[in-house]
Amino acid sequence: MHLNVLVDSGLVKRVGEQRTVPGRPRVLYEATSDAPVTQHRTTTDTSYRELARILVDQLGEVQDHQLALRAGRRWADALDVTSPDEVEGASNSGIDTVLAVLNDLGFDPRIEPSTNQDRLVLHQCPFADIAIKDRSVVCQVHLGMLSATFERIAPTMSVTGLDPLVSEEPLRCVVHLQGSGQP
């Protein structure tokens, strides 16, 4: 009965024994190579997404933007990021490192120079489905994370603002930067 549950969930598969002597072949069980990771990841992603939705709802009830900004700053502090000073061959400005961090988080960032200031355009949002319903919280958390990340990794630049979801199809958020990408 326990093996049937594992088979039904895709964690193991039944394999018939290859026999060279007379007799009924035994049924053997073999672990599948990718099922546990895929199944676990889906469950975990769903759980984290639901947790994010609950936390956004809770912060939205409080209606305190400073709490959301502080949550974003804590998120930035929790990111395991190496300062560009510690990476051999990294640019001193740190902007490449910031872009790599944001890309790893799923934001698909691209710097777009404009006439009076630099703009960082985020072409993806890992929480777009939640942000579309409650921009005030999710985007403030992102603003806090972005500000703290730039302060830590690219201190010659600062985040002066965030225009959330300026376009939903295709998705775009604009981060306004001040300073220079040079040390």
pLDDT at residue number 130: 87
Which 8-state DSSP code applies to residue 182?
-
- Rounded CA gap, 60 and 138, in Å? 9
pLDDT value at 144 more than 90:
yes
35-62 helix and 135-153 helix, angle to the nearest 10 degrees: 110
Q: Domain segments of the chain: what residues?
A: 2-31, 65-179
Bond prior to 170 in cis (omega within 30° of 0): yes
pLDDT at residue number 46: 75
pLDDT at residue number 36: 46
pLDDT at residue number 9: 74
- Please state, for a pLDDT cut of 90, what percent of the chain lies above it: 28
Look at the domain 65-179 and name its fold. Answer: Muramoyl-pentapeptide Carboxypeptidase; domain 2 (3.30.1380)
- Rounded CA gap, 95 and 156, in Å? 9
Identify the helix (H) or strand (E) that includes residue 121.
strand 118-122
pLDDT at residue number 84: 54
pLDDT at residue number 73: 93
CA 116 vs CA 10, 12, 119, 158, 180: distances in Å: 56, 60, 10, 15, 12
- Tell me the three state secondary structure of residue 119: strand
Q: Residue range 42-69: average pLDDT?
A: 79
- pTM summary value: 0.67
In this predicted model, what pLDDT tens digit does every residue of 72-105 receive, in sequence order?
Answer: 999 999 987 765 555 444 555 688 889 999 999 9
In this predicted model, what pLDDT tens digit does every residue of 9-41 receive, in sequence order?
Answer: 777 788 888 888 888 888 887 877 654 444 444
pLDDT at residue number 105: 92
Give the sheet arrangement for strand 157-168, strand by strand.
109-113, 118-122, 171-179, 157-168
pLDDT value at 3 more than 90:
no
Contact 166, 173 (CB under 8 A): yes
The letter for the amino acid at 9 is S
- Rounded CA gap, 20 and 53, in Å? 58
